[in-house]
Chain A
Amino acid sequence: MPTREDADRIELLQGTLDLLILRTLLPGRAHGHAIAKNIERTSEDVLQVEQGSLYPALHRLIKRGWISAEEGVSEHNRRAKFYRLTAKGRKRLTVETSKWEKLAGAIAAILYAARQEGKS
């Protein structure tokens, strides 16, 4: 039974993680581990996600039809599942990105204003 704090954290992560997954898949298909690695690396290890939480998110995205899964062979020559952005997902990414930018901008504006006030 997750505590309430747990639940809050997962929810917070959820939307963000979805966006990050979609963005990671924009250049092409990738398997789960590669997606996790990519997110960590490009965020310069700031975002340390619990890698396991990636999977519920991936499946949620498949269910919504934003990404699709296909069989493939990994760089180590082993069977692995690769995920790919669908047309619907691509559209979604645009929407989500602009939403996120607006949100980030708005929060930044507030935080910036607060700092200004704090200075004066």
Chain B
Amino acid sequence: MSLRRRMENDLDHDIREHIEMEIRDNIERGMSPDEARRAALHKFGNVLRVSEETRAVWRWMWAERLLQDIRYAVRGLRRNPVFAAVAILTLALGIGMNTAVFSVVSAVLIKPLPYPDPGRLVWLANYNRRFHFEASTSPDFFDWRAQSRSFEEMTGYTTIDSTVQDGAESSKLGLVQITAAFWRIAGARPALGRLFSDDDRDVIVLTWRMFEQRYRADRRVLGRVLQIDGRPATVIGILPKDFRFLPPPGLPGAMSGEPEAFMPNIIGPELQTRAANLPILFVVGKLKPGVSIEQARAEIQTIQARVARDNPAMKGFYSVAELRVVPLKEKLVGESRRALLILLAAVVFVLLIACANLGNLLLARAMGRQRELAIRVAIGAGRHRLLRHFLVEGLTIAVLGGVAGLTVARAADDILTRVGPSAVPRLAELGIDWRVALFALGVSTLAGLVFGLVPFLAFCTGSLSSLLKTGGHGSSGGPTGWRLRRFVVGGELAVALVLLIGAGLMVKSFVRMYAHPASFQPERIGTMRVFLSGPAYRGHAAAVAYAQRVLARLATIPAVQVAALTNGSGSGGADLDPPRFPPGQAPQVFFRAASAAYPRVVGSPLVEGRWTTDDEQPPAVMVNQAFARLVFGSESPVGQKIHIHIGDESAKIVGVVGDVKMSRLDAAPAPEVLIPFKDTRAFRTWDILAKTSASPAAILPEVRRAVQQIDPTQPPYAIMTLQAALDESIVPRRFNLLLLGAFAASAVALALVGIYGVMSYAVTQRTHEIGVRMALGAGRGEIVGMVVRQGMFVALTGIAAGAAAALVLTRLMATLLFDVKPNDPLTYVTVAVTLAATALAASWVPAFKAARVDPLRALRYE
């Protein structure tokens, strides 16, 4: 019990005892008991007031003592500015990095979605197990909405890059077509005009950004008629500035940027039936209050099972479909959760190492002051007083570091939002709010406690009298201190190794992702997309004619070596002719319409058979190796016939081409059929690819001009190199690698500083001993060997422990890796050897210093 508490508890007893004594005295003097009590109380005065005033004496004592300890700590820091600067900077970086990562975690994972009742918003979709995408279809949405009772609202939408024509000007527009229920789900109110209802036709609502940038916030835009993909639409409303469209933007190939406008999604009767193809739709629902997501999932599951039963013709689609009914937030950020938590753990590791280093520094300082401290204990400072002293010293540094850390965190947040706006969903909501500030405070406090405790433990486990006797000289701070410091440094190296292996595995994943066949040169291919809008391009013939004009025009540009057009958005079941699979069970594959030059542009080699031309009669197609493996196994596909979307006609497979990763770097190429573009069904999007011997950046403007000239109402967009497009497909992975790599590098640097510091200190402490050894004939080499051996023992023990820990921990990051096993031996060996080599260097320097000790001076050293 503290002195103050003891005093206060005893006070009432003391006062009672005092009055009793006075009463006894009074009785002895001859008063009656009553009289004696009255007189005693009178003489004592107001008991309540006395006890209150006495307690008041102690009230601010803890604060005064704390202030005293803080003043002492600050004085200590001022006396040693280099130490103070190193300590505060290390911590500022450590806490800053932690706070920055936490602010990402907070913005992405913790903050609720900015819609009313965010907990009741649900994403509904069918996950396609073959192609790994999540989407619903219009008829499914129609049945769910009509038959389910769990939902208050349900909205269906599609997104598209469409073309807006306003007068003579035409440009690309990120368009969301959505049912009006969405406005109620999002709690959206118009800033100007009104939002549409389900009865509205040919109306459009603009986002604030669009309103501000394209129409200079001129409200006269309301009522204006725009041509959206050749159809008129009247501007009826503007959304407020802070409105955000949260639902997922759809599949790759749909809307490529942020949404800029909204139109009603009309689900006509033709979209409610399951005919030859199923129109894609995305669905978000809002649960009724009190309905659990499990109930809703079970209900939709029942409906969906009935749908699949009633539509055997759609078996190919429904048999690979897996119903997903998940919280909308989970859908948006679920995939980033693991990566973010791993990053948070990694950055905490970095802070732990930083704390351990500071603990060691404080310990070294404490060892230098052993005698002073021992004397303080001897004259009654008490262990708890000493603990307070160390903790306050630690916390003072931690708080200073934490404040500086917030500045670091703010700068880091700036960098993060700039590096990867698309890397992590909701990253735009990043900022330092109360959650983040609280976290920084918590982390600083914890850090302060940790490295305040290290020197205290070292100091307290040693015996006091031995400290007093040795007086902090000649010995290396007692065996305990030395052991603890070695343990701490070994631990630092172990943690650093874990992080380094994690980063190493990710680096190797990147190498694997970028492992292309030499013929695939995405860095030399420029791409752009055209969406053929308007009534002129309704028919397939128009799209084909357009493609032919583009190809002819591009052939005249000298810098373009070879150019091709392609459309790769379709997928479906591909049965052979004669049929090989039961109805509805043909393998799901991608259908790619392409001009003949396409495989040559992307560098896809011919594996078997022959190339196709632009005019195949009778119809002929090529397939890729993934397709050949999936459908034919070891059998040769060449000469087989396959049903494609050309009526009942089938096409002959005449060639097999090598696989290339055209859309995502972190996925194996999908099975694909390459169909000459004239023989495909109608579609409206063309991807234009142009290969050059120089940099695509140089030819892209010219290609763009050429394409635009062919039809000025069809502006090309998404203009970039294929390399950039592929890079974009792994932005989240790049973001993770960047952060984990930075953390691993910091961890290694800190751990090396740690081992260097400890070895230097050990050498200084053993100067006398080294002198004796040298006087007795030990050579320089032996001295160096001795010190290095000692350092490497610590390092190798730490590295071994780290490798063991990494074997367990890296399993958690399996999903972050690509084509690399978490226990990849090569990575482990490379990383461990590198770290051991740097640790060797770090202990070599102090060893070398030790060897240069002058024996005479060392012997005198005391």
Give A residues with C-beta under 8 Å from B. Answer: 31-33, 36-37, 50-53, 55-56, 58-60, 62-63, 69, 74, 76, 78-81
Residues 1-35 of B, flagged 1 when their CB comes within 8 A of A and 0 if not, give 00000010011011101101110110000000000
Q: How far is the CB of A49 from chain B (nearest CB, A)?
A: 9
Contact among A50, A78, A81 with B45 in the assembled complex (CB-CB below 8 Å):
A50
A69 touches B7 (CB 8 A): yes
Name the A residues within 8 Å of B46 (CB-CB). 52
Name the B residues within 8 Å of A76 (CB-CB). 21, 24
B47 touches A52 (CB 8 A): yes
Q: How far is the CB of A89 from chain B (nearest CB, A)?
A: 16
- Cβ of B56 within 8 Å of any chain A Cβ, yes or no, is yes
B57 touches A33 (CB 8 A): no
A78 touches B61 (CB 8 A): no
- Cβ of B75 within 8 Å of any chain A Cβ, yes or no, is no
A32 to B50, CA, bound (A): 13
Nearest B residue to A81, CB-CB: B14
Name the B residues within 8 Å of A55 (CB-CB). 11, 14-15, 50-51, 53-54
Most buried by B among A76, A78, A81: A81
Contact A51-B18, Cβ < 8 Å, known A56-B54, A63-B58, A69-B7: yes
- Cβ of B79 within 8 Å of any chain A Cβ, yes or no, is no
**Chain B, interface residues (CB within 8 Å), range:** 20 to 34
A29 to B46, CA, bound (A): 26
Nearest A residue to B46, CB-CB: A52
A33 touches B53 (CB 8 A): no
A59 touches B57 (CB 8 A): yes
A32 to B43, CA, bound (A): 14
Q: How far is the CB of A65 from chain B (nearest CB, A)?
A: 11
Name the A residues within 8 Å of B61 (CB-CB). 63
* Interface of A: prevailing SS: helix
A60 to B7, CA, bound (A): 11
Name the A residues within 8 Å of B10 (CB-CB). 81
A94 to B22, CA, bound (A): 31
Name the A residues within 8 Å of B18 (CB-CB). 31-33, 36, 51
Of residues 52 through 79 on chain B, the ones whose CB sits less than 8 Å from some CB of chain A are 53-54, 56-58, 61
A53 touches B50 (CB 8 A): yes
A51 touches B57 (CB 8 A): no
A48 to B11, CA, bound (A): 22
Name the A residues within 8 Å of B7 (CB-CB). 59, 62, 69
A81 to B13, CA, bound (A): 9
A69 to B46, CA, bound (A): 23
Q: How far is the CB of B5 from chain A (nearest CB, A)?
A: 13
30 sample A-B contacts, Cβ–Cβ < 8 Å, listed by A number: A32-B14, A33-B17, A33-B21, A33-B22, A37-B25, A50-B44, A51-B43, A52-B46, A53-B45, A53-B50, A53-B53, A55-B11, A55-B14, A55-B51, A55-B53, A55-B54, A56-B56, A58-B54, A59-B7, A59-B11, A59-B54, A59-B57, A62-B7, A63-B58, A76-B24, A79-B17, A80-B14, A80-B17, A81-B10, A81-B13
Q: How far is the CB of A35 from chain B (nearest CB, A)?
A: 10
Most buried by A among B11, B20, B44, B58: B44
Residues 363-402 of B, flagged 1 when their CB comes within 8 A of A and 0 if not, give 0000000000000000000000000000000000000000
B57 touches A79 (CB 8 A): no
Q: How far is the CB of B501 from chain A (nearest CB, A)?
A: 57
Contact A56-B45, Cβ < 8 Å, known A33-B17, A63-B58, A78-B17: no
A32 to B47, CA, bound (A): 14
Q: How far is the CB of B39 from chain A (nearest CB, A)?
A: 11
Name the A residues within 8 Å of B469 (CB-CB). none
A78 to B18, CA, bound (A): 11
Name the A residues within 8 Å of B22 (CB-CB). 33, 51
Name the A residues within 8 Å of B50 (CB-CB). 52-53, 55-56
- Cβ of B49 within 8 Å of any chain A Cβ, yes or no, is yes
A74 to B49, CA, bound (A): 25
Name the B residues within 8 Å of A32 (CB-CB). 14, 17-18
A36 to B64, CA, bound (A): 30
A79 to B18, CA, bound (A): 11
A59 to B13, CA, bound (A): 14
B49 touches A52 (CB 8 A): yes
Q: How far is the CB of A9 from chain B (nearest CB, A)?
A: 13
Name the B residues within 8 Å of A74 (CB-CB). 17, 21
A52 touches B45 (CB 8 A): yes
Contact among B17, B45, B57 with A63 in the assembled complex (CB-CB below 8 Å):
B57
Q: How far is the CB of A84 from chain B (nearest CB, A)?
A: 15
Name the B residues within 8 Å of A69 (CB-CB). 7
Of residues 183 through 236 on chain B, the ones whose CB sits less than 8 Å from some CB of chain A are none
Name the A residues within 8 Å of B25 (CB-CB). 37
A79 to B61, CA, bound (A): 27
Name the A residues within 8 Å of B43 (CB-CB). 50-51
Most buried by A among B20, B21, B22, B44: B21
Name the A residues within 8 Å of B44 (CB-CB). 50-52
Q: How far is the CB of A52 from chain B (nearest CB, A)?
A: 4
Nearest B residue to A55, CB-CB: B54
Name the B residues within 8 Å of A53 (CB-CB). 45, 50, 53
Q: How far is the CB of B379 from chain A (nearest CB, A)?
A: 11
Nearest A residue to B51, CB-CB: A55
Nearest A residue to B52, CB-CB: A56
A34 to B13, CA, bound (A): 16
A78 to B45, CA, bound (A): 23
Q: How far is the CB of B117 from chain A (nearest CB, A)?
A: 53
Q: How far is the CB of A114 from chain B (nearest CB, A)?
A: 35
Q: How far is the CB of A25 from chain B (nearest CB, A)?
A: 16
Most buried by A among B18, B44, B46, B50: B18
Most buried by A among B22, B49, B50, B58: B50
Q: How far is the CB of A82 from chain B (nearest CB, A)?
A: 11
A33 to B13, CA, bound (A): 13
Q: How far is the CB of A7 from chain B (nearest CB, A)?
A: 12
Nearest B residue to A35, CB-CB: B18
Name the B residues within 8 Å of A52 (CB-CB). 15, 44-47, 49-50
A46 to B268, CA, bound (A): 109
Q: How far is the CB of B353 from chain A (nearest CB, A)?
A: 42
A35 to B384, CA, bound (A): 33
